[in-house]
Structure 1
Amino acid sequence: MTSMILKPTRRALLRNAAALGALGAIGAPAIIREANAQSSFNWKRFAGTKLDVMLVKNPRSDLMQSEEKAFTALTGIEVSSEQVPEQQQRQKAMIEFSSGKPAFDVTMLALHVQKRLSAKGKWMEDLRPYLADASLTSPDFDYADFAAGAVDFGKQADGAIDTLPHFIDFWMVYYNKEMFAQKGLEYPKTMDELVAAAAKLNDPAKGVAGFVSRGLKNANIPVWTSWLLGQGLETVSATGKLQTDGPEAVWAADMYRKLNKDYGPPGTIGFNWNECQTTFMQGRAAMWLDGIGFATPLEDPTKSRIVGKVGYGVTPAGPKAHHSALFGDGLGIARGSKNKQAAWLYLQYMCNKGNQLAMIKAGAGAPGRLSALGSSEASAGSRFPKQYFECLAESGKIARAGLPQIIPVTEFRDVFGVAITNTLTGADSATELKKATETFKPILEKSEQA
């Protein structure tokens, strides 16, 4: 992994996001290095405190909850945590933060959705003072170990660090190696080859779909934007202009429609990631495009019928560019919490090197720490094949934001999600995207004026 120090502007981040495979550690601020050199840190300092934590339902949260007893034994701090399904968690966060008195001390934020919304609403505590306080930050926390791209992806425009980069998600293609071998197919190198492979692998008579991805409105947007990145475009340009109804966007929507309508399983119009995951691990789909963080159950013999048959492929190149869509979650402290210092200990523990390494070893996704991403221990003894780790590393090198970093990103997903879903029932892609663009344009303009 090449070591570089990047200081991209916000506009540059919109264009390129974080290519983790090519980024190195950021230098810890001098004040942090000096403070930790004279540490008076004590894990037991806030023993007896009780923390409430709101998590998103996923394999990473399972890992965090499994560590709560160890955290309590180390600190004396009790933890009450709840996993909430993704969409409901985002809605709950909005309601709780809007009240000014959130019921939780710590929460996860989807940086690709809630980052700018969080800044506008002043939801989260700025972690910079905590990082600089030797009495609150463990000397072995090593903040400089977080990849620069991961840090910058979560950092606010004013420099505030309101979350730790707990998880970075690259989109890739899961594929059934046995099905590919039976058809004499190699993994596709281009998006056009992927469509051709889906056609050859599609076998409705045997209950096998050539391809599966999210069809449910809102949830389906990252699929469309993944194809659009193959045209070298994001949905919103660096200057804030919508790029959602041009020929490239229409091409991506047509590709989405063809894959899901012609080669997808019945009912795909209502599929979110969990339905796709179930379909794939039951051997009813040959390929599935989604985040690499959903790999865990695929290699679990108690849940999956295709253990040992799963291939992990980097998103194929498009006509003009080769990118993997990038998303990520941050873990932070609610500004309204009354237990902020104890909550900071929780963040440090859950994002420490051991737990970040455990994430990648479990196949629960890409951690933000360089030590975990580059560890030979990650693959040693893992249930996941070498290809999984290679896919993660290669995806990092070509990562680019999968959603626009705008305040009304949820409205964006709603408006364009309907348009993309409508194509599955026969609607014309160009017509739907033009209508959606006209609908969303004033929403975007208003949000930038606020």
Structure 2
Amino acid sequence: MNLKSFLLGACSAVALCGFANAETLTIATVNNGDMIRMQGLTSEFTKANPDIQVEWVTLEENVLRERVTTDIAASGGQYDIVTIGNYEVPIWAKQQWLLPLDGLGDAYDIDDLLPAIRGGLSVDGKLYAAPFYGESAMIMYRKDLFEKAGLQMPDSPTWEFIGEAARKITDRNADIAGICLRGKAGWGENMAFVSALTNSFGGRWFDESWKPQFDQPEWKASLQFYADLMKDAGPSGASSNGFNENLTLFQQGKCGMWIDATVAASFVSNPKDSTVADKVGFALFPNKEGVANHGNWLWSWNLAIPASSQKAEAAQKFIAWATSKEYTDLVASKEGWANVPPGTRTSLYNNEEYKKAAAFAVPTLAAMDAADITKPTIKPVPYTGGQFVAIPEFQALGTTVGQLFSAVIAGQSSVDDALTAAQATATRDMTRAGYIK
């Protein structure tokens, strides 16, 4: 007699029999802090749903995107739930690669989702992914280092101020970089920051005829500013640093400023993880002097079900749990209100306990409210998206351009050479794809 037959024949306990027949969900996710915390709380879900077990595949951001994209495009069926961004959701939904989330339950309160977030995850009125957390971008800075240098962060800082301040608070002898910025190549790594930076300089990826704009002065100014700043005030090895690497540096007290996703605020403010938790201030994403655009991005990490999954009902149960108000309450009870996933629900920002515990709550919501993905820059564009361009070709093109720009930060290429190569590559790819007539 095999083990399963023995269990089915001998067990009288519901939980044991349920486990023997449990359906296993395979979930692919990114190795960010909020997702790691969710994995640690999964037993709360399986306890309430003994007929469902969960297997996690946790990957670095670039690797996750590559594997999930390959699998879902080929209907490979490796994953029952995937963690994807608001870039992929509408594109993949239109390709019929995702299942609509029509079984989240009456208690889910879909109307509580922030309108901008919900809208980015819906196609023809149907929700195709549920947001686990949402974010924009902002400045996180060391108030003690600013005070020591005689600096005060403006309410609306310019890049000119940020550059001067970063160089002033850099202390190579103490291993403190004045500023940490993404340098790791990837459309969602360094290009998320560089695209937002260039938007705030008045630049754009394409003009109204889809002609690439890397040969325009705004790109030259923004990339040169970025390269010079990383050389003068950035950490060593900056070309290899993405979100998680810079988070670690900031938590260890090795960055005077960090400009990145608002979701990082809870991690830099948590005394259990951050040596500078009581010294952190927050400010709006900068703009270039004379350009009325702060370049705020709008992003969400979301849970979606590939059309190839055979376990859609169980998958929707998990998604409903992981993105619910009840999950937020669960995290708050175990980790404190400051550590709940931000940026998805209106009710969270009406919660006085949250606003009292999280000094970054109001700046985060302000940054998200300031983001307009329909008008990412001051010039007209034929696309939507703040730190990305919402077309299928952007994933490959953005990563290629990201590699060119990462090489600049590594000292392996000049700004001019990188921009020339980016212009040629983008023109070729957009012509092949039929955008340029």
TM-score in terms of structure 2 length: 0.82
Distance 1:154 1:205 in 2: 47
SS in 2 for 1:166: strand
In percent, how many aligned pairs have the same letter? 22
| Structure 1 residue aligned with 2:48 | 74
Structure 1 residue identity aligned to 2:393: P
Q: Is the 8 A contact 1:150 1:168 kept in 2?
A: yes
| CA positional deviation for 1:255 | 1.4
| Structure 2 residue aligned with 1:162 | 128
1:51 maps to 2:46:
no
193-202 or 51-60: which moved more? 51-60
Distance 1:212 1:249 in 2: 20
Structure 2 residue identity aligned to 1:183: A
| Structure 2 residue aligned with 1:195 | 163
1:147 maps to 2:106:
no
1:318 maps to 2:318:
no
| Structure 1 residue aligned with 2:172 | 204
Distance 1:448 1:116 in 2: 20
Query: Which has the higher Rg, Structure 1 or Structure 2?
Result: 2
Structure 1 residue identity aligned to 2:62: Q
Distance 2:342 2:204 in 1: 22
**Where in structure 2 are the equivalents of 1:14-413 lying within 5 Å?**
48-76=22-50, 77-112=52-87, 114-115=88-89, 118-119=92-93, 121-127=95-101, 130=102, 136-156=103-123, 159-188=125-154, 189-218=157-186, 219-237=189-207, 240-319=210-289, 320=291, 321-356=293-328, 358=331, 361-363=337-339, 366-380=342-356, 382=357, 384=358, 386=359, 388-400=360-372, 401-413=386-398
In structure 2, relative to structure 1, the CA distance for the partners of 1:409 and 1:265 (3 Å cut) is same
In structure 2, relative to structure 1, the CA distance for the partners of 1:365 and 1:140 (3 Å cut) is closer
| Structure 2 residue aligned with 1:417 | 402
> Any unmatched runs of 5+ in structure 2?
1-17, 373-385
TM-score in terms of structure 1 length: 0.80
Q: Is the 8 A contact 2:104 2:319 kept in 1?
A: no
Q: Is the 8 A contact 1:116 1:407 kept in 2?
A: no
Distance 2:339 2:202 in 1: 29
Structure 2 residue identity aligned to 1:251: A
* Structural RMSD (CA): 2.6
Q: In structure 1, which of residues 420, 429, 448 is the aligned counterpart of residue 415 of structure 2?
A: 429
SS in 2 for 1:367: coil
In structure 2, relative to structure 1, the CA distance for the partners of 1:241 and 1:370 (3 Å cut) is farther
| Structure 2 residue aligned with 1:9 | none
Deviations 1:140-169 (A, max 9, x none): 21111112211122224x555321233222
SS in 1 for 2:79: coil
Distance 1:146 1:447 in 2: 35
SS in 2 for 1:122: coil
SS in 2 for 1:288: strand
| CA positional deviation for 1:197 | 0.6
| CA positional deviation for 1:405 | 1.0
> Any unmatched runs of 5+ in structure 1?
1-43, 131-135
Distance 1:362 1:343 in 2: 28
| CA positional deviation for 1:239 | 5.6
Q: Is the 8 A contact 2:328 2:341 kept in 1?
A: no
Q: Is the 8 A contact 1:234 1:243 kept in 2?
A: yes
Q: Is the 8 A contact 1:172 1:290 kept in 2?
A: yes
In structure 2, relative to structure 1, the CA distance for the partners of 1:337 and 1:153 (3 Å cut) is same
Q: Is the 8 A contact 1:215 1:260 kept in 2?
A: no
SS in 2 for 1:215: coil
Distance 1:240 1:361 in 2: 45
Structure 1 residue identity aligned to 2:58: Q
SS in 1 for 2:277: coil
| Structure 2 residue aligned with 1:443 | 429
Structure 2 residue identity aligned to 1:392: T
Distance 2:159 2:429 in 1: 32
Deviations 1:407-450 (A, max 9, x none): 12222222221332233327442442132121122213434569
| CA positional deviation for 1:120 | 6.0
Distance 2:111 2:426 in 1: 39
| Structure 2 residue aligned with 1:27 | none
Distance 1:341 1:414 in 2: 35
Distance 2:213 2:299 in 1: 19
